[in-house]
Amino acid sequence: MELSFIAYLRGRCRSLPSIHLGIGDDAAAIEPTEMLQLSCTDQIIDGVDFMSSETPLSEAGYKSIAINVSDIAAMGGMPKAALVTLTLPRENSTKIAGEVYEGILEAAEKYNITIAGGDISTYDGPLAVNVCLLGEVAKEQLWRRSGAKEGDAIVLTGPVGGSLSGRHLRPQPRLDLVQILQDVVKVNAAIDISDGLSLDLDRLCASSGCGAELNIDSIPIHPDALLMAKESGRSPFQHAWSDGEDFELILTMSQHDADRLSQSHSDLGLTQIGNMVGRTGLWKKNDRKLERLPPQGYTHNSNTTDVVN
Ligand SMILES: [Mg+2]
């Protein structure tokens, strides 16, 4: 199967000029640039990250690229090339590979990514799609989790919560904001929300050695969270606080930059939800007393939503 499928893929894959050699050789060859090279990888598995009984496989393929694009966006970079490894169930493997690749190629086209290589194998197990995504960013424009400073504004790029009602299958990584933000402000720290607003904000805080004081009422709640709350017994806020797979970005920047940004780019849908503080942990802004907020979200050592302290 592999040879004919690779021939098909070569025909379908577009190549950027910087990809010297792509699919079909022992390794891809990519022209180096003066930028920092970014690389990340993420794998999705049938039965864990999606259900093939409920989800078209092209959606799984699309998601496998989009979630990696979100990680590159969270570094302030742009994606460039992907290596894709499909581990396929033995039965119907060619058909499954073709369906998964429909979504992979759609996402690659959308985000201007060359599929530069990968691997395909079959076994007696569920479908797994692994994407290693390569990207780049200018050295002075690299965003990291560890750069937040006390007093920084905490900015959220869009509404959160309730993605499991369907949005999680078509993630919209905020690559669209990267260049605008790079041009207008200095982002001190960034992370994308894969496992929940509070859990990923807590990770950013831990990396930066500070905490966050939040104006809870300002957190934008996605309409999907309102719908899910009607059936889940949890509040819309709890969904916004702890649901994963929003793929919005949490950014920190000086208050001055945040104010400038909200004036010059009020149309971007950005919301300041609080400020970084010296005291570690997540805190609710309150006139009289400080209330500690436990981070909650998806943890990868189980398939359930756990409280993480
Ligand atoms: Mg991430």
The answer to whether the beta carbons of residues 230 and 153 sit under 8 Å apart is no
| pLDDT reported for residue 306 | 41
Which spans in 210-304 are helix H? 223-232, 236-242, 255-264
Would you place residue 82 in the very low, low, confident or very high pLDDT band (cuts 50, 70, 90)?
very high
Q: Which residues lie below 8 Å from residue 22, measured CB to CB, with a gap of 6+?
A: 10, 13, 15, 28, 81, 114, 115, 116, 117
79 CA to centre of ligand 1 in angstroms: 14
299 CA to centre of ligand 1 in angstroms: 13
64 CA to centre of ligand 1 in angstroms: 13
Closest-CA residue to 100 (of 67, 76, 80, 130): 130
Over residues 142-155, the mean pLDDT reads 98
| pLDDT reported for residue 305 | 42
43 CA to centre of ligand 1 in angstroms: 13
For residue 275, the number of C-alpha atoms closer than 13 Å in the C-beta half-sphere is 12
| pLDDT reported for residue 304 | 40
77 CA to centre of ligand 1 in angstroms: 13
Question: CATH 3.30.1330.10 region(s) of the chain?
Answer: 2-139
Mean pLDDT of the chain: 92
Q: Which fold has domain 143-293?
A: Phosphoribosyl-aminoimidazole Synthetase; Chain A, domain 2 (3.90.650)
Over residues 42-69, the mean pLDDT reads 96
210 CA to centre of ligand 1 in angstroms: 19
Question: CATH 3.90.650.10 region(s) of the chain?
Answer: 143-293
244 CA to centre of ligand 1 in angstroms: 11
Distance in angstroms (rounded) separating the CA atoms of residues 59 and 182: 30
Closest-CA residue to 252 (of 147, 154, 183, 181): 154
| pLDDT reported for residue 300 | 61
287 CA to centre of ligand 1 in angstroms: 33
| pLDDT reported for residue 290 | 81
Q: Which fold has domain 2-139?
A: 60s Ribosomal Protein L30; Chain: A; (3.30.1330)
277 CA to centre of ligand 1 in angstroms: 23
pLDDT per residue as tens digits for the range 106-131:
999 999 999 999 999 999 999 999 99
pLDDT per residue as tens digits for the range 250-302:
999 999 999 999 999 999 999 999 999 999 999 998 777 788 998 987 766 54
3 CA to centre of ligand 1 in angstroms: 34
